[in-house]
Chains A and B, each alone.
Chain A
Amino acid sequence: MNYLSQVHSLIIKIMVKKAFSLLAWGLIISFPLIFPKSYFLGILIFAGIWSIMLIGFDVLVGYCGQLSLGHNAFFAIGAYSAGILAVKYNFHHPLLAMAIGVGISLLLAWIIGLPSLRLKGYYLAIATLGFGLIINNVILGLNQLTGGASGLNFIPSFEFAGLSFDTDIRFYFLVWFFVAVILVVSLNLVKSRFGRAFLAIREEETFASMMRIPVFRYKLFAFFYSAVCASIAGSLYAHYAGTITPDGFTFMISIHMVVMLFLGGKGTIWGGIMGAVFLKLLSEWLTAFQEYEMPVWAAIFIMVLIFMPKGILGSLQVAFKNFGVKTIKEGE
């Protein structure tokens, strides 16, 4: 294949990719308009909330290569900030409450990130896991503030500039608007020199520092970035669910994050959305098998790692890249 036809097929592939994303967004936007009373609206709202979490998580895990098992903590902080401010302090500015939640998450990300990110691999995972457990316990213990085990009820709906997002359709568009913004920002980030730097750090930190990359500082940024996304997702979740209890922010959330991201395709940004939608739909189908939730998730994870380590999107990308590349057959 000569150079010119290589460039030609590259352009076609870029156009196809853009067409796919336009199609995806077209579907996302039109779905509630076509099926306004659909049961699936609720599922897709949760998928959107998880997409926000996973896009940020992918920057840390997929691109920068640092595995955290404690991000359930940031999800919880976002949710409880929104809930506590609204319910206990009568603070009815959800966007501001979300910002405050982000601030608290950043502070805690700094406190836990500074020591933990000096660790690698399993040690980092365990340190963050511990952090997640601690935060969950703290929430359980601060009875007066968080409602302890019974949690917070009657969290009001999200409201901004006089508009109340109290119906499923309105909230659907609110959530997916957040997804769109975070998607664009994250894509800009990973396509920039910082994205290349993250990939370098993921592969070999010593070589990365020779590229003048301040490795620790960048790891810290990725950690902050993913914490912010998880916090935003948490705040939105609190307003939608109306009720939050510590049970909903355990270590299982971190497990779900990892499985969803790996299934969707880590290191792709879009994979987060893919994994969230896919597994939220799957969860619905599996509610009949409540007791088998954990083993099913575990089985999915193992199968992904063995058969599709690049995830759905990753495998599609590889197939796409190889599309049109002729392999020489015997005898030719």
Chain B
Amino acid sequence: MEATCLEIRNVSKNFNGLLAVNKVSFSIGIGQIVSIIGPNGAGKTCLLNLITGVYPSSAGKILVQGTEIMDKKPHEIASLGISRTFQTGGLFKEITVLENVMLGLHGTVNSGFFSSMVRLPSVKQSEEEITKKSLWALRNINLETKRDTLAANLSYGEQKLVELARAVVSNPSLLLLDEPGAGLNETEKEKLIKLIQALKKEGMTILLVEHHMDMVMRISDNIIVLNFGQKIAEGCPEEITRNPDVITAYLGIDDAPYAGDS
């Protein structure tokens, strides 16, 4: 039996009468890649927000590696080893690329305010280590030459790469990706798929929200389908493409699921 990385038990979220998430349950094993798909407004991003503590759930339990996180603050949840990228780009535009990636390592260091104010040797050392690790991460995505560029001046694809690098530089156990493929061309999507598969090999558990079915079908171990806040299907890619409820949910919308040989 695989160890569970993330468990969602009967989670609901009520926004003043609007039930954005309705009694959703599923679990993700360590080292799996799981995708959440569904039409726009199905509650996918809301679910990610509940997991990361952006707002509290109205009901149900969320467990990260056995620890309940419902009453924890966002930074406490992140400290459990969860990293996340955002649909609308979560980079800090007013600082440089290198500074953004260095922020990914912020929580991995222990230096205090006062040690930093007097610049103790231990602080200087950890600062050097953070810089080294961040530059290494930038080298891996071929953006080391843009290290001192303001994040706002990067192209859309570059920004997404940097955000991903920032998310993984702290070696999280659980990585949440919110529409990582959005706005990417075929080459960039191919790069992204290879990256995600490489991360899985390193032992990372990945949960992604995605609309690009081709990508979802290729990389997912398990797929969860949401519609109107409810889970309507769960299974491996082949099962999902044949599921009538899923096809109905997508009827009339452009990105219909990949119709494999049936």
Q: Is chain B found bound to chain A in the same assembly?
A: yes
Instruction: Please report A residues at the B interface, Cβ cutoff 8 Å.
Output: 3, 6, 10, 185-186, 188-189, 192-194, 196-197, 199-200, 202-204, 206-207, 209-215, 221
Interface centre among B109, B113, B118, B130 (most CB of A within 10 A): B113
B130 touches A193 (CB 8 A): yes
B73 contacts chain A at the CB level, 8 A cutoff: yes
Shortest 4 CB-CB distances between A and B: which pairs?
A212-B107, A192-B116, A209-B74, A209-B75
5 A-B residue pairs with CB within 8 Å:
A193-B111, A196-B99, A196-B102, A197-B106, A221-B113
Task: Give the shortest distance, in Å, between B171 (CB) and chain A (any CB).
Answer: 13
Instruction: Indicate if the CB atoms of A193 and B109 lie closer than 8 Å.
Output: yes
Q: Which of B105-128 contact A (CB under 8 A)?
A: 106-107, 109, 111, 113, 116-119, 123, 127
Known: A199-B94, A212-B107. Is A189-B73 also a contact (CB below 8 A)?
A: no
Q: Per a CB cutoff under 8 Å, which of B78, B86, B94 touches A209? A: B78
A47–B58 Cα distance when bound, in Å, is: 54
CA distance A193 to B130 in the complex (A): 9
**Contact between B123 and A196 (Cβ–Cβ < 8 Å)?**
no
Shortest CB-to-CB span from B98 to chain A, Å, is 10
Q: A200-B95, A211-B104, A212-B75 are in contact. List 10 more A-B contacts (CB 8 A).
A: A185-B118, A188-B119, A189-B117, A193-B109, A194-B113, A196-B106, A199-B92, A203-B94, A211-B107, A212-B79
Q: Closest residue of chain A to B84, judged by CB? A: A210
Given contacts A193-B111, A209-B75, contact A204 B92 (CB under 8 A): yes
Please report the C-alpha to C-alpha distance between residue A185 and residue B117 in the assembled complex, in whole angstroms.
5
Q: B103 and A214: CB pair below 8 A?
A: no
**Beta-carbon contact of A200 and B117 below 8 Å:** no
Contacts of B52 in A (CB 8 A): 210
Distance between Cα atoms of A193 and B93 in the complex (Å): 17
Q: State how many angstroms separate the Cβ of B38 from the closest Cβ of chain A.
A: 23
The answer to whether the Cβ of B198 comes within 8 Å of any Cβ in the partner chain is no
CA distance A193 to B126 in the complex (A): 10
Once the chains bind, are B103 and A211 in contact (CB under 8 Å)?
yes
A16 to chain B, nearest CB (A): 16
CA distance in complex: A212, B171 (Å)? 13
Residue of A202, A211, A214 with highest tally of chain B CB at under 10 A: A211
Q: Which residues from B are CB-within-8-Å of A185? A: 117-118
In the complex the two chains form, is B145's CB within 8 Å of A3's CB? yes
* Distance of A221 Cα from B52 Cα, bound (Å): 25
B17–chain A nearest beta-carbon distance, Å: 24
A185 to B99, CA, bound (A): 20
- The answer to whether A203 and B75 touch (CB under 8 A), given A188-B118, A192-B116, is no
Contacts of B239 in A (CB 8 A): none
B90 in the interface (beta carbon within 8 A): yes
Q: Which residue of A lies closest to B104 (CB)?
A: A211
Chain B residues within 8 Å of A, Cβ to Cβ: 52-54, 73-75, 78-79, 83-84, 86, 90, 92-95, 99, 102-104, 106-107, 109, 111, 113, 116-119, 123, 127, 130, 145, 148
Question: Given A185-B117, A192-B116, A194-B113, are A210 and B78 neighbors across the interface (CB < 8 Å)?
Answer: yes
Among B75, B83, B118, find the residue whose CB has the most chain A CB atoms closer than 10 A.
B75
* Nearest CB in chain A: distance from B212 CB, A: 24
Give the chain B neighbours of A215 by CB distance below 8 A. Answer: 75
Residues of B within 8 A of A202 (CB): 94
CB proximity of A35 to chain B, nearest CB, Å: 34
In the bound complex, CA of A43 to CA of B204 (Å): 61
Report the minimal beta-carbon distance from A321 to chain B, rounded to whole angstroms. 9
Q: Are A200 and B75 in contact (CB under 8 A)?
A: no
Q: A199-B95, A212-B75 are in contact. Are A193 and B86 (CB under 8 A)?
A: no
Docked Cα-Cα span, A215 to B53, in Å, equals 14
List of B residues within 8 angstroms of A10 by Cβ: 148
* A6 CA / B86 CA spacing, docked (Å): 31
Given A185-B117, A189-B113, also A210-B95 (CB < 8 A): no
* Residue from B94, B103, B118, B127 whose CB has the most chain A CB atoms within 10 Å: B103
Partner of A197, one of B74, B103, B148: B103
Contacting residues, chain B, for A193 (C-beta < 8 A): 102-103, 106, 109, 111, 116, 127, 130
Least Cβ–Cβ distance between B97 and chain A, in angstroms: 12
Contact A189 B116 (CB under 8 A): yes
Q: How far is the CA of A202 from the CA of B93 in the complex (A)?
A: 11
Smallest beta-carbon distance B58→chain A, Å: 19
Q: Which of chain A's residues has its CB closest to B91's CB?
A: A207
Inter-chain CA distance A204–B89, complex, in Å, is 12
- Kindly provide the distance from the CB of B46 to the nearest chain A CB, expressed in whole angstroms: 14
Given the known inter-chain contacts A196-B102, A199-B95, A207-B86, please indicate yes or no for A188 contacting B116, CB distance below 8 A.
yes
Q: A188-B118, A194-B116, A200-B103 are in contact. Are A6 and B92 (CB under 8 A)?
A: no
Q: In whole angstroms, what is the CA distance A204 to B86 when docked?
A: 12
Taking the closest CB of chain A, its distance from the CB of B121, in whole angstroms, is 13
What residue in chain B is nearest A201 (Cβ atoms)? B92
CB distance from B153 to the nearest CB of A (A): 12
Q: How near does chain A come to B200, taking the closest CB pair, in angstroms?
A: 21
